[in-house]
Chains A and B, each alone.
Chain A
Amino acid sequence: GAGVSQSPSNKVTEKGKDVELRCDPISGHTALYWYRQSLGQGLEFLIYFQGNSAPDKSGLPSDRFSAERTGGSVSTLTIQRTQQEDSAVYLCASSSSQGGYGYTFGSGTRLTVV
Chain B
Amino acid sequence: GENVEQHPSTLSVQEGDSAVIKCTYSDSASNYFPWYKQELGKRPQLIIDIRSNVGEKKDQRIAVTLNKTAKHFSLHITETQPEDSAVYFCAAGGTASKLTFGTGTRLQVTL
Q: Which A residues contact B (CB, under 8 angstroms)? A: 31, 33, 35, 41-43, 45, 48, 50, 55-56, 58, 91, 98-108
Total count of chain B residues near the partner, CB < 8 A = 23
Residues of A within 8 A of B101 (CB): 35, 42-43, 45
Question: Is B98 within 8 A of A42, CB to CB?
Answer: no
Do most interface residues of chain B lie in helix, strand or loop, or is the interface mixed? loop
Cα–Cα, bound, A98→B46 (Å) = 16
Cα–Cα, bound, A43→B87 (Å) = 12
* Residue in A33, A98, A99, A106 whose Cβ sees the most chain B Cβ within 10 Å: A99
Contact indicator per residue, chain B 69-111, by CB within 8 Å of chain A (1) or not (0): 0000000000000000000010101111111111110000000
Number of A-B residue pairs having CB atoms within 8 Å of each other in the complex = 60
Question: Is B97 within 8 A of A43, CB to CB?
Answer: no
Among residues of A, the one whose C-beta sits closest to the C-beta of B1 is A58
Residues of A within 8 A of B26 (CB): none
